[in-house]
Amino acid sequence: MASPRRVLRELYRDLRTRAADPQSWICSPWGADLWIDGLTAFRIVTPETFDAYLSAALEFLSKSGHPLRALTEGEAVAPIARLDPFLATAAERGPGSFWPALAVGLCLVRALGGAPRVETGDEMVIMDDSLLFLLSPSYRGIRLAAYNAGLRTRSHRTGKQPVFRPEYGYFRLHPPNLVDAEPPRVPYYNYSHDLAHLVLFGDTYLRPVVSSEITASLLLNAEETVCTLDLVLMAELARFGVELHALSGLKKLEAGSYEEKESVTRRVAGDPEQTTAYQVALKAAAQLHLTAPSAVSEQIVGSAEIPGDLADWFHPRTQSMHAAWGEKLARRIWHPVFQRFVSFLPPQPEHTENLFRFCRETFSPGTWDGAAPLEPCPESRRKGILVHRMRFLVIRAAEVAAELADQGMASEALLEDLTRWALETVDRLVRVQREGGSNQAAEHADALAGAAASLLVRHQVPEADRFARRFDDPAAASYRSTQ
């Protein structure tokens, strides 16, 4: 077995050779991942400098009590997190030290397999994925939590971007969010935003809380909480004092960028108190756009001070759009027929906890995965994928039943049969949670989807075939690929 030093040195030499042709780099899977900052690192860092910093990094890990003995056994993420102080120390000495340290870190990420993939379908690449996985504890935490929970994404080069439904346990990417290039790719900040919704709050998009007004306030706060991750990612990247290309995308997201105003997040990122204050301010400002504020709104707004340049980060129009989305979603959640079915689904307590705690708490850059980073767990992922598959079926049944009820086409006999079907589906779901995933469980999920479609036909629902297609999961190919 080759030593870590040899593997990392060979990987560096390969990437340096590839970086000699920037056009090929940009159009390749590894280049789209490592992107511009990776290209810069491997073009400017000489072999002699890389070897020196590689030796320094290996010595640092050894002295910290965690020598890097192998790259194919045991921990796949902890060595990356442990390298953070080495990178920070190098950055303190200036860009001339940071870039070779970064080259070592990027080689380590790729040698350990990179961020665990949750993508299915076309070979989509997340731009700057390895860079963020190395430098941002928050991004790393989101990616690992998503993998272990069995969350999925699927990319499509054509078609319209569908309505975002985080409760499904997956989301789809189409243009314009997906850049239709070779290979197809998505900016890390778009990807992490959507993934964070699923990781932090997925189950809460099904749960009514006290009243429609309070539910809307809580869901709006969840949206703005995820939006504040932009500021957190900015802080975690900017702390190295190098104007990384990866920062430019975050700056362009800001409302003020269209008028070439100074980046609010870049200015605030170096000040922990301001980083907290702007998170609080964005959540408070958004609540003011609700048509029917609630006691929760009053708690979130509190005595928050809204800085004059908040609109240069998130324009009031965007805040108003988010508020309208929260109110519309709350109305759907409170639909009695919809609740008749989704109330069977076991709740995910950590999502409920997040829904309430982020009314008073904010993110602290650098603390997502704490002192003991998560590691990828394939068995947990297998189980999670099947759990989400069955949850998806019940949610779809709830949507179909609610729509039919609104149209006066849901007979009590149909609702009773669908209720029995939902109970059977949830029973299978609980067994998977208890016993784990298997091919047999995947076959049961397929059979349950077919049974739901058959019920609609048997009850002579108009356009039954159209409604039945809603039980087809676009990410279904990933169920068996994990077995």
DSSP string computed for 402-413? HHHHHTT---HH
CA distance 209 to 203: 13
Q: Sorting pLDDT into bands at 50, 70 and 90, what band is 482?
A: very low
Query: For residue 376, is it left (φ>0), alpha (ψ between -120 and 50) or beta?
Result: beta
At 275 the pLDDT is 96
Q: Report phi then psi at 415, rounded to 5.
A: -65, -35
CA distance 408 to 405: 5
Q: Is the residue at 319 inside a domain?
A: yes
At 481 the pLDDT is 45
Task: Indicate if the pLDDT at residue 76 is higher than 90.
Answer: no
Is 327 found in the same domain as 239? yes
Q: Sorting pLDDT into bands at 50, 70 and 90, what band is 417?
A: very high
Q: Is the residue at 165 inside a domain?
A: no
Is 275 found in the same domain as 385? no
At 182 the pLDDT is 85
Structural domains of the chain, count: 3
At 124 the pLDDT is 87
* Residue-wise pLDDT tens digits, 435-473: 876 667 778 888 888 899 899 999 998 888 888 888 887
Q: Is the residue at 335 inside a domain?
A: yes
At 478 the pLDDT is 47
- Where are the extended beta strands (E) located within 158-197? 170-173, 185-187
Tokens, residue 78: 């902890």
Amino acid at 196: A
Is 431 found in the same domain as 309? no
CA distance 383 to 379: 6
57, 87, 114 - which closes a domain: 114
Q: Is the residue at 155 inside a domain?
A: no
Q: Sorting pLDDT into bands at 50, 70 and 90, what band is 474?
A: low
User: Span 251-259, mean pLDDT?
Assistant: 91
Is 306 found in the same domain as 215? yes
Of 187-196, 233-242, 330-339, 427-436, the one with minimum mean pLDDT is 427-436
Bridge partners (DSSP) of residue 154 are: 120, 172
Of 47-61, 213-227, 446-460, the one with minimum mean pLDDT is 446-460
At 121 the pLDDT is 62
pLDDT, averaged across the chain: 91
At 470 the pLDDT is 86
Is 334 found in the same domain as 209? yes
* Residue-wise pLDDT tens digits, 324-347: 999 999 999 999 999 999 999 999
Give 179's DSSP letter.
B
CA distance 393 to 391: 5
Is residue 400 helix, strand or coil? helix
Task: Indicate if the pLDDT at residue 475 is higher than 60.
Answer: no
Is 408 found in the same domain as 328? no
At 217 the pLDDT is 98
Is 238 found in the same domain as 314? yes
The more confident residue out of 474 and 125 is 125
Q: Is the residue at 287 inside a domain?
A: yes
User: Span 246-267, mean pLDDT?
Assistant: 92
* Residue-wise pLDDT tens digits, 2-52: 899 999 999 999 999 999 999 999 999 999 999 999 999 999 999 999 999
Is 435 found in the same domain as 303? no
CA distance 86 to 267: 25
Is 420 found in the same domain as 306? no
Task: Indicate if the pLDDT at residue 258 is higher than 90.
Answer: no
Is 218 found in the same domain as 89? no
Q: Is the residue at 161 inside a domain?
A: no
At 235 the pLDDT is 96
- Where are the extended beta strands (E) located within 95-139? 119-121, 125-127
Q: Is the residue at 240 inside a domain?
A: yes
Domain residues for 476?
378-481
Is 220 found in the same domain as 288? yes
Q: Is the residue at 420 inside a domain?
A: yes
At 480 the pLDDT is 44
Q: Sorting pLDDT into bands at 50, 70 and 90, what band is 407?
A: very high
CA distance 9 to 5: 6
Task: Indicate if the pLDDT at residue 370 is higher than 60.
Answer: no
At 483 the pLDDT is 39
Is 91 found in the same domain as 15? yes
